[in-house]
Amino acid sequence: MLDHLKNLCGKSVQTLRDERGQGLVEYALILVLIAVVVITAVRGIGTNASTTFQRVNAAITPPANNP
């Protein structure tokens, strides 16, 4: 029983020292950061574009009916 516990503890320490997954986590964090920046930029551009289109639409007068 004690040997099994020592083996389990040793594997746990080895797993904690293993850094193979660290790179994957760092790439995932970078992707999340990029996604947040892109979403924020698209929302800002979308709001500005919507405001511009509304101004243009309000400035356009319908054509006169000339028979």
pLDDT in tens, 21-53: 677 888 889 999 999 999 999 988 988 888 899
Q: Specify the residue for token string 């964090």.
A: 29
* Length in residues, the chain: 67
The reported pLDDT for the residue numbered 30 is 94
Position 65 pLDDT exceeds 80: no
Q: Would you call 12 helix, strand, or coil by DSSP?
A: helix
The reported pLDDT for the residue numbered 48 is 87
The reported pLDDT for the residue numbered 46 is 87
The reported pLDDT for the residue numbered 10 is 72
> Domain locations in the chain?
24-54
Q: Indicate the pTM of the whole model.
A: 0.49
14-50 as b/e: b if 16+ CB within 10 A: eeeeeeeeeeeeeeeeeeeeeeeeeeeeeeeeeeeee
The reported pLDDT for the residue numbered 32 is 93
Number of C-beta neighbours around residue 52 at 10 A:
10
